A = this chain, B = another copy of it.
């Protein structure tokens, strides 16, 4: 199992995963397009969270590097970028830097251009998915889709959902799914269902519309989906 993990993306998801990985004992490099810009950015997040630099002061063990440096040094890579720019970020990070590695894709192909709640990006649902496109961009990496179906706090603390929610994994490589499953267990997930090959990501990404509507109906993002059986 990897000791040094790269997390691509400095949004709420990337920060939550990076912090949890450090807490769990991994060396963590978080990757961004422009290190100086990210470090000096004083804007609060869209949801009112602290600027990256404030967060970084509290999580100094997380190294901040370029996407390329992070992808190169990570033995395992989390993709936590905004889904609309994920494929571009992977190009910036250098596809060769993912070769032979387990790549855990947490991103969602959300399309905010048609108003709220967002839909999924054209061409990336139903008969395709963002994870499948990532796998096509990285033919020698082992992409696993997981965690995208809950909010960032539940990702790393599933008990916060108030129950024992189910998490899914999908990917073509059993070893990579084993890596992802081991990490999920370290995050606190106990009910994990393997949906098969990477095309199982379709169903996971297509959960977003009902996730968003349930959020609107229940007025809380602190929930998860449990497969009761």
User: Which residues of A line the B interface, CB within 8 A?
Assistant: 114, 119-120, 125-127, 161-165, 168, 170, 193-196, 200, 202-204, 206-207, 209-214, 216-218, 220, 222-229
Q: List 27 A-B contacts (CB under 8 A).
A: A119-B127, A125-B125, A125-B206, A161-B228, A162-B228, A163-B228, A164-B228, A168-B210, A168-B214, A194-B217, A195-B216, A195-B217, A196-B216, A200-B213, A203-B209, A203-B213, A203-B214, A204-B210, A206-B206, A207-B207, A222-B229, A223-B228, A224-B228, A224-B229, A225-B225, A225-B227, A225-B228
Please give, as numbers and ranges, the residues of chain B lying within 8 Å of A209 by CB-CB distance: 126, 202-203, 206
- In the assembled complex, the Cα of A92 lies from the Cα of B126 at a distance in Å of 29
Do the beta carbons of A212 and B218 come within 8 Å of each other?
A: no
Provided the pairs A126-B119, A203-B213, A207-B210 are in contact, do residues A229 and B220 lie with their beta carbons within 8 angstroms?
A: yes
Q: Which residues of the other chain, B, contact A214 by a CB distance below 8 angstroms?
A: 168, 193, 195, 203, 227
CA distance A28 to B85 in the complex (A): 53
Given B114, B125, B193, B207, which contacts A217 in the complex, CB threshold below 8 Å?
B193
Residues B229 and A228 in contact, CB atoms below 8 Å apart? no
Q: Which of B207, B213, B218 contacts A229 (CB 8 A)?
A: B218
Expressed in whole angstroms, the Cα–Cα distance for A203 and B125 within the complex equals: 12
Closest residue to A225 on the B side, CB-wise?
A: B225
Interface core residue of A126, A161, A164, A202 (most chain B CB under 10 Å)? A126
Which 4 A-B pairs rank lowest in CB-CB distance, beginning with the nearest?
A163-B228, A203-B210, A203-B209, A223-B229
The winner among A114, A120, A210, A225 for most chain B CB atoms within 10 A is A210
Asked if B210 and A195 sit within 8 Å, CB to CB, the answer is: yes
Provide the bound-state CA to CA distance between A203 and B214, in Å. Answer: 9
> Do A163 and B229 touch (CB < 8 A)?
yes
Most-contacted residue by chain B among A126, A193, A222, A228 (CB, 10 A): A228
Contact (A163, B210) CB under 8 Å given A120-B126, A126-B125, A196-B216: no
A225 and B226: CB pair below 8 A?
Answer: yes
Q: How far apart are the CA atoms of A114 and B199 in the complex, in Å?
A: 14
Q: Tell me the bound Cα distance from A216 to B214 in angstroms.
A: 25
Distance between Cα atoms of A42 and B229 in the complex (Å): 34
